[in-house]
Amino acid sequence: MTTIGLVVCANLVLVFLSLTSELPNREYHVLLGLEIVALVFITIYSFLPHKELRFIIYAIPIFNLVAAYFWSYVEHRLCICRDKRTVRELSSKEKNVENLNKRWRETSAFVYWVCRVAVLLCYASLFVNLCVSIGLLYVSSYNYPGGEAITRLNNWPGLSERRDVHVYISNLAAQTGVSRFQQVNDHWIYNKTEKIDNDVRALVEGPFTHLILEASKDVLSGRVEAFHQLFTVKSFSGITYNPEGSLWKKLKILIKPALVTYERVARP
C-alpha cells in the first residue's frame, strides 16, 4: 500500500519538476516505460473473473524501483536546494549563467518545498508500513488454525506413541494449514473424508479416535459422551472500530474459536 502511494507521488512530483524545467535524467524515462508496461499488464489481468495477488506479483518490483528512484531523486534535489554553493558551482559551468540563475530564482523556493514535503511523505510511508506490517503479522498468526490444531495434536503428551490414532480432519482445518508435511506420525491415520463433519452418527460410530471439527458447526458439543474436548483453536474474525474508546482502544482485533479438537473416551 505504501509503495503504491510512493509511486503515485513519484509520478506527480516528477511530472511537476519536468514542467518547471527541473528535468529528471534518462533513468526516469526508462522506469516510466517499465511502469507503463506493468500497468498494462495489470489492466489485462484485471479482466479475469478470478483475481489473486499472485497473478500480478511480478509487477510489484517495477513499482518498487519507481518509488526508490523517486525517493533518491527528491533527496538529491533537496540537497541541491539547501546548498547554495552547489548551485554556484553548477552555474559556473553553464554557458548561459544569467538564464540559469533566473530559472533558479523562479523555481528553487517552490521546488525546495515540494521536495521537502515529498521526502517527509517518504519517511512517513516507512513508519506507516512498519505499523501496518506489525498489525498484519499479528493477524496472520491467527489465520491458520488448522496448522496449529494438528501441530498441538501431534505433540500432545503421550499421544505420539499410540498406534491406534485415527484423526478426522474437517474441511476448515484442511484449508487453514493441515498439509502432508504435518502428518509426521507414520503410524497414525489422517482422514480428510468430506461431508461427514455434520453427521453425528458417522463421527461417533466411525473408527475415529480424534476429531478436528469446525467450531461453528460443532455437532458434538454437550450432546455426545463418546468424545471429550481436548482444546480449541482461535482465529482472526475481524476488526471493529470504537470512536468513543481511548486512542489505543479504538481499533480492536476480534479473535473467535475456529476449531475444536476432541478425543474419544476410552471404553470401559
Count helices and strands (H / E) in the chain. Answer: 8, 5
Split at pLDDT 50, 70, 90, the class of 96 is: very low
Q: Which residues contact 16 (CB under 8 A, 6 or more apart)?
A: 114
Task: Give the model's pLDDT for residue 4.
Answer: 59
Share of the chain above pLDDT 70, in %: 75
pLDDT at 182: 85
**What is the pLDDT, as a whole number, of residue 147?**
92
How many Cβ atoms are within 10 Å of 135's Cβ, its own excluded?
13
Extract the C-alpha cell encoding 83.
546548498
DSSP letter at 49 equals: S
* Per-domain boundaries in the chain: 1-141, 145-264
What's the pLDDT tens digit per position in 208-224? 999 999 988 777 776 67
pLDDT at 93 over 60: no
Q: Which residues of 45-56 are buried (b: 16+ CB within 10 A; e: fewer)?
A: eeeeeeeeeeeb
* Entry pTM: 0.66
Residue 187: pLDDT over 50 = yes
Pull the grid cell for residue 148. Answer: 496449529
* CA dist., res. 134 & res. 130, Å (int): 6
- CA–CA separation, 68 and 245 (whole Å): 38
Q: How far apart are the first and last CA of the chain?
A: 60
Residue 75 in 3-state DSSP? helix
pLDDT digits (tens, 9 = 90+) for 98-128: 554 445 444 566 667 777 787 888 888 888 8
% of the chain exceeding 90 in pLDDT: 18
Pairing of strands 251-264, 227-241: antiparallel
Specify the 3-state DSSP secondary structure of 180. Answer: helix
What's the maximum distance between 2 C-alpha atoms anywhere in the chain?
103
What is the model's pLDDT at position 95? 45
Q: Could you give the angle at the alpha carbon of 165 between the alpha carbons of 161 and 166, nearest 5°?
A: 155
pLDDT at 151: 92
For the segment 57-82, the average pLDDT, to the nearest whole number, is 77
Q: Contact 13/114 with Cβ under 8 angstroms?
A: yes
Reported confidence tier of residue 24, pLDDT bands at 50, 70, 90: low
Opening angle at CA 230, ends 175 and 236, nearest 5: 40
